[in-house]
């Protein structure tokens, strides 16, 4: 079975255009903050910001054979990333202390990117499970690349709910569209649900079970 969603206002619904810009800004700034913690120079800082903002979408596009790549089709996002990286480099220390703001904006970006990835996965005529995976890759892989470049264990491989939020958001969106729900309404529902799940996970410290050697030896 293949899914083909009708996209509103061209490639994406208007709300997702806005969320995409917010996500790019949020992920780019989070990349800069981590890069500054590792004392990277200006070039290294921009590389980490770029990888965080566009890494997930680039991996998705390459895997799906979707060209041109998102940041090539929208070069204005490169300018947004450069401006955000420059500002964040200048204000890295105070920004690093705004944890609640970062978590909030990052949650918006995670949910939005997951839905955008699903839209693009569906537009290329893939099966539902591939569409959901495309959304999860878009939402979570940028952060994974950031962590790897900053020599940290990727967040999505730890017990914190992150990649699972991307999968949940994508699965909900695909399910709603499959049931015939209007694209704009499905977007809002999935966006709010994904955002809420991520924020609740942070607030109440929801975590996945971690398997240890002791579990294997039982």
Assigned domain for 67 exists = yes
Assigned domain for 86 exists = yes
Show the domain range for 180: 14-208
Assigned domain for 217 exists = no
Assigned domain for 7 exists = no
Assigned domain for 8 exists = no
Assigned domain for 100 exists = yes
Assigned domain for 39 exists = yes
pTM for the predicted model, two decimal places? 0.85
Give the DSSP per-residue string, the chain: ----PPPTTTTS-HHHHHHHHHHHHHHHHHHHHHHHHTT--HHHHHHHHHHHHHHHHHHHHHHHT-SS-HHHH-THHHHHHHHHHHHHHHTHHHHHT-HHHHHHHHHHHHHHHHHHHHHHHHHTT--HHHHHHHHHHHHHHHHHHHHHHTT---GGGSSBSSHHHHHHHHHHHHHHHHTT--HHHHHHHHHHHHHHHHHHHHHTT-BPPPP-HHHHH-
Assigned domain for 2 exists = no
* pLDDT tens digits for range 107-154: 888 998 999 999 999 999 999 999 999 999 999 999 899 999 999 888
- What is the total count of domains within the chain? 1
* pLDDT tens digits for range 172-218: 999 999 999 988 899 999 999 999 999 999 999 888 776 665 555 55
């Amino acid at each position: 079975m293949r899914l083909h969603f009708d996209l509103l206002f061209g490639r994406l619904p208007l709300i997702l255009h806005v969320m995409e810009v917010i996500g790019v800004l949020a992920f780019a700034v989070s990349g800069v903050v981590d890069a500054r913690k590792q004392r990277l120079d200006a070039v290294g800082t921009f590389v980490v910001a770029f990888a965080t903002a566009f890494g997930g979408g680039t991996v998705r596009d390459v895997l799906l054979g979707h060209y041109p790549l998102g940041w090539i089709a929208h070069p204005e996002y490169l300018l947004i990333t450069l401006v955000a990286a420059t500002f964040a480099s200048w204000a890295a220390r105070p920004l690093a202390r705004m944890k609640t703001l970062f978590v909030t904006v990052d949650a918006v970006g995670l949910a939005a990117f997951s839905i955008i990835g699903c839209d693009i996965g569906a537009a290329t005529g893939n099966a539902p499970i591939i569409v959901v995976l495309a959304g999860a890759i878009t939402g979570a892989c940028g952060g994974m690349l950031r962590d790897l470049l900053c020599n940290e264990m990727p967040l999505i491989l730890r017990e914190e709910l992150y990649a699972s939020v991307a999968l949940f958001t994508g699965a909900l969106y695909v399910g709603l569209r499959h049931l015939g729900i209007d694209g704009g309404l499905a977007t809002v529902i999935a966006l709010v649900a994904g955002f809420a799940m991520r924020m609740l996970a942070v607030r109440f410290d929801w975590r996945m079970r971690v398997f240890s050697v002791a579990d294997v030896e039982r």
